[in-house]
Structure 1
Amino acid sequence: MTVDDEIARLAALANPHRFRIIALLAEESLHVSELARRLGMSRALLYMHLQRLEAAGYVTGHLELSDDGKALKFFEVVPFEVTTNVASIAAAVAADTESTH
């Protein structure tokens, strides 16, 4: 993992709204409209946060058809563990240094 990858993965969590999103999705898979309603957030803002979490690998989304034929985008948490320590930071910097030479 590069320095930029490591920083992007950590930065994706560094937001209270994203913590709330993960907490709700840890309980159950939810479609965007329901998730937005529970969070009291616009769908546009929610999508921005979900895209950031999905790009970092913390959540995943998929489409499902409702009984009336509407496409609903559901999101769920991908099991993860965040571990950052001196060794992982040094390894990321070393990988970046090697790739630039």
Structure 2
Amino acid sequence: MSDLSPTGDELARLLATLANPHRMRVVAALARERHYVSDLARRLGISRALLQLHLKKLEACGLVTSTLELSGDGKAMKFYELAPFDIHLTPETVARAAEDLAQEGSPE
């Protein structure tokens, strides 16, 4: 996600995804280097199952990508890395994004 002007729905989804402290820590760790799930779970001090839920949300939002690789002993290892993104969050960015938000119900 490298778009400097996301749509309203994209911006809302991005901010909601990053609003979770675990996901912010995942992004911070992946900003330094790519990791496979077990290693990243150990580094962050959370279970692999919980980490995989957060990685799934980050991947669905386009913030991380994954690749499946085989280790030397033939073990499948899923590596995650941060996708490049650059969002400038300013009042103007939010105002532009708000103009094309999907309508949910009627206005108050």
- Per the normalisation by structure 2, the TM-score is 0.79
- What SS does the aligned partner of 1:85 have? helix
* 22, 26, 33: which one aligns with 2:27: 22
Task: Tell me: higher relative CO, structure 1 or 2? Use CA pairs within 8 A at least 6 residues apart.
Answer: 2
Aligned residues: 94
* 89, 94, 98: which one aligns with 1:85: 94
- Per the normalisation by structure 1, the TM-score is 0.84
- What SS does the aligned partner of 1:63 have? strand
Q: CA deviation at 1:5?
A: 3.8
1:68 corresponds to 2:73: yes
Percent identity of the aligned residues? Answer: 53
- The Cα RMSD (Å) is 1.7
In structure 2, stretches of 5+ residues that fail to align are: 1-5, 104-108
Structure with bigger helix share is: 1
Q: Where does residue 53 of structure 1 map in the other structure?
A: 58
In structure 1, stretches of 5+ residues that fail to align are: none
Q: CA deviation at 1:2?
A: 5.9
